[in-house]
Amino acid sequence: MTSGNLKKLRPYDKPPKSNSSLFPSGPDAAAKGFFGFGAFWFLAATGIGTLAALQMVMSGFTFTIELPFGITIAFTADTVASGFRHTFAWGWLTNAALGAIFFATPRLTGHPIAMRRTAVLGMATWNVGFAAGLAFLYMPQFVDSGSVTGFPFVVDLVLVFGLLLISLSFWRSVVGADHPFISLAWFAVGMLTLIGLVVEATVVSLLDLDATTDLLAEEMWIRAWTLLFAMGVAIGGLHYLVPRLTGQPLASGALAWFGLTAWAVLGVVAIFGAAVHPSIPYALVSAGNAAMIMLLLPVLAVIANLAMTLRGRWALVLSPGPLAMAVTSLVFLGGSVLLAGIGSLRDVQAAVAHTEWPIGVGAFALAGAASIGFLAVGEHAWPRMLHRSHSGGILAYAVTWSALAGAAVAGSALIAAGLFHVGLAADGAVAADISTSLLPIHMVAWAGLGLLGLASAGHAVEAYLLAAHGRPVHTTAPGAAAAAAPVSH
């Protein structure tokens, strides 16, 4: 008879050691986080935008909360509008762009994302920092509510730290890539632009600039962020998406590299066109305006190249889903650059600079080209990240058509408001009368943004249903060996 503790003779009774960690390190952990947070912030921006629209109709719809130590939380027209701008730009677009980068990069290089836990930590740090900054926006004593880079210095430091971690993971992933994929080059330009602009905003927050210099720096910052980061990464995502969805290689590598090089060079020069002020040399502003007009050349190259890639596959565009949204994004890309070029003409710029026209062009660029492009990448990415499939159904129609209609209505309404604004000002109408006359058009623009928010909600519901009820499918992670094909009889 055996004596002693019998359980010592049964090692399988010991619970297995957990391999879980604070930060997940799955192949697409960072991309899932970026897309998930992006959808959340898009929904939050829709809610904040709804509040801003209500405040335009009911000017007295404001309230404040008094906290100890003299801290005040104010939901005024200025703070709510600032919250919408920050949530849409820093929350939705930045997360969606980084999600597109971290989804496409390993599939282009054929290797998993390097330093995956570092990327996830950077993703978490970025979003925690942004959430803190968004809370500070409603405390006017701490921030500049009129700015899109008005976070406190401490929040800027958190954002810089998070972005450094994200950049470290990205650059370690692309160094040594076997082939210079055009999408990776677009992503690299976007990453360099983003970290440069965030560092610049951090430094500027320490400086005591006069109001004019601060405004000029803000205008140049917005144009650089729009052209070289948001729209640049969206174009890179389209160069990845269209060949994948059509099953055909990119039509012309030379045309693709021309588009990237011309966009990057002209985009840098075009930044100076936003600094319209007597203190800025006329030649520098004129060069910036000329570059903004010449951006039509790389845009035409991008559109022509991707259109040729679609040869023989145009019927796929008629179905709702990623390819239809990718083509829609290209349409908004061309329209926004054309309108921006028209607005850069000296006489037109002088007439519409202080109207809704520039905001409408921005709506075509950011709510149209960039947002719809990132939604297209997200629609393509979620089934592959979750290894599940679904039939699409009515949600695919809802996402596609509400995104298209929302961006078109918002941009068109704001441009129309800008034109009416110019006419009313020429007739000698005062600011209060102009605001009252344009209020119905502004409400139409907010309704368009609400439709775009509906597309985001549908996208989030699709991702949830895919994770909870999608059919599991076997896919190969980037860098892993392909599964062996079954032997036929």
Q: Where are the beta strands (DSSP E) in 279-350?
A: none
For residues 185 and 70, what is the distance between their CA atoms, to the nearest angstrom? 49
Distance CA 80, CA 73 (A): 11
The tokens 């500049």 sit on which residue? 144
Token representation of residue 257: 């590299």
Counting DSSP H helices and E strands in the chain, the numbers are 17, 4
pLDDT at 260: 95
- How does pLDDT run across 40-82, given as a tens digit for each residue? 999 999 999 888 888 887 776 777 777 776 677 777 878 888 8
Task: Name the residue with higher pLDDT: 214 or 397.
Answer: 397
DSSP-assigned letter for residue 75 = E
Map residue 471 onto helix, strand or coil: strand
The mean pLDDT of 373-392, rounded to a whole number, is: 86
- Selection from 255, 363, 359, 240 nearest residue 305 by Cα: 255
Which pLDDT score is estimated for 8? Answer: 52
SS in 3 state form for 420-450? HHHHHHHCCCCHHHHHHHHHHHHHHHHHHHH
Name the token pair of 59: 């000017």
Confidence of residue 99 (pLDDT cuts 50, 70, 90): very high
- Per the CB < 8 A criterion, the answer to whether 163 and 126 are in contact is yes
Residues 6+ apart with CB under 8 A from 81: 52, 145
Counted residue by residue, the chain has a size of 489
- Higher-pLDDT residue of 442, 146: 442
- 350 contacts: CB under 8 Å, gap ≥ 6: none
Which stretch of DSSP H or E encloses residue 242? helix 231-246
What pairing do the DSSP bridges indicate for beta strands 388-389 and 471-472?
antiparallel
- What pLDDT does residue 159 have? 93
Query: CA geometry: angle at 150 spanning 146 and 155, to 5°?
Result: 155
Q: Is the pLDDT of residue 19 over 90?
A: no
Minimum mean pLDDT range among 11-25, 100-114, 406-420: 11-25
3-state secondary structure of 278: coil
pLDDT at 3 over 60: no
| Residue tagged 């690299």 (tokens) | 188
Could you tell me the pLDDT band of residue 487, with boundaries at 50, 70 and 90?
Answer: very low
- Residue 181's pLDDT is what? 87
**Lowest-confidence segment of 116-120, 138-142, 236-240, 326-330 by average pLDDT:** 138-142
Q: What radius of gyration do the chain's Cα atoms show?
A: 24
| The pLDDT value given to residue 68 | 72
SS3 73: strand
| Tokens found for residue 148 | 């899109």
Side chain identity, residue 191: M
* b/e map 137-164, b = 16+ CB within 10 Å: bbbbebbbbebbbbbbeebbebbbebbb
Summarised one tens digit per residue, pLDDT across range 194-216 is 999 999 888 887 777 777 777 88
Nearest Cα residue to 120 out of 89, 88, 165: 165
Q: What residues does each domain of the chain span?
A: 25-175, 319-471
At 21 the pLDDT is 53
Please write the tens of the pLDDT for every residue from 443-485: 999 899 899 999 999 988 888 888 887 787 766 656 554 333 3
